[in-house]
C-alpha cells in the first residue's frame, strides 16, 4: 500500500486545498456560475461528494455498484448532472460542505483498509486502490479549477499534478475510442515541464510522434478545463495533433470542452 498511501495523502491535500477555497465563500458565491454550463460552485462540490459516495459503494459493496451502473445506462449523458442537482437542492452550503468532508474521509478510510491487490468496479475498467485515489484526485483538481475560476482565485500548481497527467496519458486510447475513432497504433513521447523545472516524461524517447509543454497546461487540456489554443502544449505528428483535440482524462462520454478565450 506504500504507493497507494502516497496517492491517498496527495488526494487528502488536494481536497483540503479546495475545501479552504469554498469554506470562506458566501452563499451568493456558492450559487454563482462556474465555467461548466449550468453548474454553480455548489454543483461542483455536490458532484465531488456524490462521486465519493459512489466510489465508496464500489469499494465496500461491489455487488451494489451494479445498481449505480444501471442508473447511468438509463441516462448516460445526464445522470451526473441529475445527481449533482439533487444534492444541491437538498443541502444548504454549510451542510453540503459537511457532507463532502465526511464522505471523502469515509472513502479514505475504506481505501486505506482495502487488501493489497484489490480491484473495484467502475464505469470503465476495474480499478486498484491507487487508481481510485488518482481518479478522485484528478476530479478534485479539475472541479477545483472550475471553482477557482468562478471565485476569481488563482491556484499555484503543485507536484500533485503529475497524477493528473499520468491519467491523461494512460487514457489516450480511450479518448479516441469514446469518439468512435481508431486509436493510434504507436506510442507517443510525452514530455512535460513541471513548475520547478523537472522534466516528466512518458513513452519511448525515440518515438516519432511527440507532445511537449508545461505540466500545468497539459493537465488543463486533458481535464478539458481550457482549449488547446490557449495552452502551450504542442504536438509533432498527425496522430499526436489529433489527440490534443480529443484528449480527456475522465471516464464517460466525450465532453464538449471549453471554447477558446477569443470566442467567449
pLDDT at 125: 85
Among all chains, which residue has been given the C-alpha cell 471554447? Answer: 259
Q: Decide if 208 contacts 200 (C-beta within 8 A).
A: no
**Per-residue pLDDT reduced to its tens digit, 212-245:** 999 999 999 999 999 999 999 999 999 999 999 9
Radius of gyration of the chain (CA): 18
pLDDT at 114: 96
Kindly state the greatest CA–CA separation across the chain: 54
- Phi and psi, residue 136, nearest 5°: -70, -35
- Cβ neighbours of 106 (radius 10 Å): 16
- Give me the helices (H) in 24-92, please: 27-30, 41-60, 62-74, 79-90
Question: Which 3 state secondary structure label does DSSP give 220?
Answer: helix
With a cut of 70, list the residues of the chain below it in pLDDT. Answer: 1-2, 263-264
* Eight-class DSSP state of 194: -
pLDDT at 2: 59
Amino acid at each position: 500500500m506504500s504507493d497507494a498511501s502516497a496517492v491517498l495523502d496527495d488526494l487528502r491535500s488536494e481536497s483540503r486545498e479546495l475545501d479552504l477555497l469554498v469554506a470562506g465563500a458566501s452563499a451568493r458565491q456558492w450559487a454563482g456560475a462556474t465555467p461548466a454550463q449550468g453548474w454553480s460552485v455548489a454543483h461542483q462540490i455536490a458532484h465531488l461528494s456524490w462521486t465519493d459516495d459512489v466510489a465508496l459503494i464500489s469499494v465496500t459493496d461491489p455487488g451494489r455498484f451494479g445498481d449505480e451502473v444501471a442508473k447511468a445506462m438509463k441516462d448516460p449523458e445526464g445522470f451526473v448532472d441529475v445527481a449533482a442537482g439533487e444534492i444541491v437542492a437538498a443541502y444548504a452550503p454549510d451542510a453540503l460542505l459537511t457532507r463532502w468532508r465526511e464522505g471523502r474521509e469515509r472513502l479514505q478510510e475504506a481505501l486505506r483498509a482495502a487488501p493489497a491487490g484489490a480491484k473495484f468496479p467502475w464505469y470503465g475498467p476495474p480499478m486498484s486502490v491507487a487508481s481510485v485515489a488518482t481518479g478522485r484526485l484528478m476530479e478534485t483538481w479539475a472541479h477545483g479549477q472550475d471553482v477557482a475560476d468562478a471565485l476569481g482565485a488563482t491556484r499555484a500548481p503543485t507536484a500533485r499534478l503529475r497524477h493528473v497527467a499520468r491519467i491523461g496519458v494512460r487514457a489516450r486510447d480511450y479518448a479516441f475510442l469514446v469518439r468512435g475513432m481508431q486509436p493510434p497504433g504507436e506510442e507517443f513521447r510525452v514530455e512535460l515541464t513541471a513548475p520547478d523545472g523537472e522534466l516528466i516524461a512518458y513513452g519511448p524517447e525515440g518515438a516519432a510522434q511527440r507532445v511537449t509543454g508545461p505540466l500545468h497546461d497539459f493537465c488543463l487540456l486533458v481535464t478539458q478545463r481550457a482549449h488547446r489554443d490557449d495552452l502551450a502544449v504542442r504536438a509533432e505528428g498527425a496522430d499526436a495533433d489529433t489527440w490534443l483535440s480529443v484528449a480527456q482524462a475522465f471516464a464517460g462520454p466525450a465532453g464538449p470542452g471549453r471554447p477558446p478565450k477569443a470566442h467567449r
